[in-house]
Amino acid sequence: MLKIGITGAGVMGNRHQERIADYRAEVVAVHDVHLPAAQELATKGGAKVATDDLEQFFDVEMDGLVITTPPPVRLEPVRRACERGIHLMIEKPPALNMTEGRACLAQIEEAGVIAAVSFQLRYGSIYERLKELLADETVHLVHTVCTVDYYLSFRMSPWFLQRRISGGPIAEQAIHILDCARFVMGNTKPVQAHAIGAKNMAPDRTEFDAENALQMMYELDNGVFGTHMNHCGTKGNGFELEVIGPHLRLRADAQGGRNGDRIVGHLHGNEFNEPVPTENSLGLDKYHAWLRAIETGDRSLIRSNFEDALHTLALVEAAVTSQDTGGFVKVGSSPIE
């Protein structure tokens, strides 16, 4: 049985624990700065160690570490795991900024551990199918949308709406579908980005500064121009992705992975309306793909390794920077070096 540790015992820590249990792997230790959270998750998962002390946590022998802490907390657990040769599953964003991301990558590369970033859309059969359809096609434009209801329901951890901790809505929400746009076009890399946004909801909630309305425009190194529309105060949570080229217009009509996901539009002059299977070709989601990769050593199961995820973070960082500086921000030719 694989032995797994979890640091960050909140919503996602709990979700990872459940999927680890489904795999019949074992959560052996849980760490959280808030000890009761660690204790609660350890009890639920049958872990012997629950602690708020990193030394004690890393004294436990483990094969893999799940990092489900808020985004500013990445480098310290990554460094300690790498020193011990422990494989990593890191929740998105891979880091709060590229400086920290590069520092994590240096540790990961030196240790040679498997490091996955938790971009689940890459494991969705709808995006796998769209990627297949686009493999030999020319695409000129990509458009994505992300909506969540935070500013209506306030059903989220407060830090999600605090830019200093979450990085704001591009890093916190849009990152999933921006990463997915890169994925369906073969992990294309960012060239430049520009975003404008405003917080014009909940004026009384002065503790929150994340923009509720945001528009972004960007360029990828395959020549594709992208736009992204983001709202985090409207009914319904979801993602949309559409691509346009000379011989196609295809939209991934995702219903949150439920039955009914379809790809619709036209392809080479013909109407296109295709249901997609509920499972991807691996038969594994992001959680189980990582566990299987550790078990078998097959790194090809990981669709979002840390290095590739940094290209998505570079796109995010350029867009976030542009909000403060105005105008397009260039990514640079080797953002991860």
Interaction site with ligand NAD (CB under 6 A): 7-13, 31-34, 37, 68-71, 73, 91-92, 118, 120, 157, 172
| Minimum distance, C-beta of residue 58 to ligand NAD, in the bound complex (Å) | 12
Of 72, 84, 79, 89, nearest in space to 33 by CA: 72
CB closest to ligand NAD, residue no: 10
Comparison of 45 and 265: residue with beta carbon closer to ligand NAD: 45
Cβ(265)–Cβ(249) below 8 Å:
yes
| Minimum distance, C-beta of residue 160 to ligand NAD, in the bound complex (Å) | 7
| Minimum distance, C-beta of residue 240 to ligand NAD, in the bound complex (Å) | 16
Of 55, 48, 44, nearest in space to 10 by CA: 44
| Minimum distance, C-beta of residue 236 to ligand NAD, in the bound complex (Å) | 16
Comparison of 11 and 198: residue with beta carbon closer to ligand NAD: 11
Comparison of 138 and 153: residue with beta carbon closer to ligand NAD: 153
| Minimum distance, C-beta of residue 279 to ligand NAD, in the bound complex (Å) | 19
Comparison of 139 and 316: residue with beta carbon closer to ligand NAD: 316
Comparison of 69 and 188: residue with beta carbon closer to ligand NAD: 69
Comparison of 71 and 168: residue with beta carbon closer to ligand NAD: 71
Interatomic CA distance for residues 223 and 190, integer angstroms: 10
Q: Which residue has the tokens 């078998």?
A: 296
DSSP 90-124: EPSSS-SSHHHHHHHHHHHHHHT--EEE--GGGG-
Cβ(70)–Cβ(165) below 8 Å:
yes
Phi, psi of 167 (to 5 degrees): 90, -5
Query: ω into residue 277 within 30 of 0, thus cis?
Result: no
| Minimum distance, C-beta of residue 293 to ligand NAD, in the bound complex (Å) | 18
